[in-house]
Amino acid sequence: MSFTGKYEVEGEKNYDEFLKHLGLSGDVIDKYRQFKTITEVVQDGNNFTWTHTYPGGHTVTNKFTIGKESEMETMGGKKFKIAVQMEGNKIVANFPNYKHTSEIVGGKLVEISTSGGVTYERVSKKLS
């Protein structure tokens, strides 16, 4: 199944708890809570371009190929190298301080991040 599309957040679970666990300040958490993050994905086989648009027009674009090490960037501007994997229909990325999975379920982008026993879930509806 292709991940290609433009998605807008429609629901989240454990948002505050997860971001606090990662060490984000209350001000940053509040700022992002009021914003519907837009995610745009372009998939060409095992090659992906994954762009998140945050408040104030701030965007982060990561390009990666499944199974190959790529440089990635967090919304806070931290860069690191990671090899993203495919497990069944899920994209799996082990970031420095959490594990992130993405999959398409019923036409929606479902992203789950887990760190230290805290799990955050974000569901985004497809816009195009």
- Tens of pLDDT, residues 22-75: 777 888 777 777 777 899 999 999 999 999 987 677 789 999 999 999 999 876
Global pTM value: 0.87
Contact (CB, 8 A) for 28 and 35: no
Among 3.40.50.720, 2.30.110.10, 2.40.128.20, 3.40.1170.60, name the CATH number for the domain at 5-126. 2.40.128.20
Q: Give pLDDT tens digits for 83-113.
A: 999 999 999 998 878 889 999 999 999 999 9
Q: Which of 9, 7, 58 is nearest to 33 (CA)?
A: 9
In the chain, where the domains are located:
5-126
Q: Give pLDDT tens digits for 6-29.
A: 999 999 999 888 888 877 788 877
pLDDT of residue 20: 84
User: What is the band of 76 on the pLDDT scale with cuts at 50, 70, 90?
Assistant: low
Q: Which of 94, 95, 90, 127 is nearest to 10 (CA)?
A: 127
Cβ count near 111 (within 10 Å): 19
Q: Which of 25, 71, 119, 24 is nearest to 110 (CA)?
A: 119
Residue with tokens 């994997």: 85
Q: Which of 109, 106, 78, 73 is nearest to 91 (CA)?
A: 109
pLDDT of residue 75: 62
Question: Would strands 118-126 and 5-13 be described as parallel, antiparallel, or unpaired?
Answer: antiparallel
The stretches of the chain forming alpha helices (DSSP H) are 15-21, 26-33
